[in-house]
């Protein structure tokens, strides 16, 4: 008799679990995906192999047209951003090739920005293809005379 009661109890538990599984799956599908954990975000940092001076990697969210995406970017450190800047613009420059990169200003790529808090470099062909690039402040028409504010170096 006790084995019969145990069998009925086990059958009821299995049936309840089988019937509630689709409901639980539907509930999890209806909930938005969780934000990445700190470990996930750190693992995906495309700048982790760079030697940064005056820059730091930052994970942000952007929601163009209501569709939010997370992305990594390089920004000036707080110390560098607090320094006084007058009479010039920030720009990204690769001294070895003389090429210019772009900043991400909100969701628009721009060659120069005026305020240190607007300095935001994303993972791009430019950041991947230049072993060293610099954030400079001054006149972009005369990049060699501009002040070097921050650098990023990829050691090969």
pLDDT at 67: 85
pLDDT at 24: 46
In angstroms, rounded to a whole number, what is the distance separating the alpha carbons of residues 14 and 121? 54
Below-50 pLDDT ranges, the chain: 3, 6-7, 9-31, 33, 38-40, 42
Contacts 24+ apart (CB under 8 A), 53-61: 53/150, 53/151, 53/152, 53/153, 54/79, 54/80, 54/135, 54/149, 54/150, 54/151, 55/80, 55/121, 55/135, 55/150, 55/151, 55/152
pLDDT at 27: 47
In angstroms, rounded to a whole number, what is the distance separating the alpha carbons of residues 137 and 92? 9
Secondary element (H or E) of residue 91? strand 89-94
129-147: pLDDT as tens digits: 999 999 999 999 999 999 9
pLDDT at 111: 95
Cβ count near 131 (within 10 Å):
13
Q: Is the pTM above the cut of 0.85?
A: no
């Amino acid at each position: 008799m006790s084995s019969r009661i145990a069998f009925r109890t086990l059958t009821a538990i299995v049936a309840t679990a089988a019937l509630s599984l689709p409901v639980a799956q539907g509930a999890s599908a209806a909930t938005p995906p969780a934000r990445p954990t700190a470990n996930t975000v750190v693992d995906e940092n495309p700048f982790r192999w760079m030697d940064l001076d005056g820059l730091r990697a930052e994970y942000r969210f952007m929601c163009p047209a209501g569709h939010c995406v997370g992305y990594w970017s390089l920004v000036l450190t707080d110390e560098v951003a607090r320094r006084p800047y007058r009479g010039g613009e920030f720009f990204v420059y690769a001294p070895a090739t003389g090429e210019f990169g772009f900043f991400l200003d909100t969701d628009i790529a721009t060659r120069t920005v005026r305020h240190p808090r607007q300095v935001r470099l994303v993972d791009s062909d430019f950041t991947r293809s230049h072993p060293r690039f610099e954030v400079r402040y001054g006149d972009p028409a005369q990049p060699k005379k501009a002040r070097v504010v921050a650098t990023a170096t990829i050691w090969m």
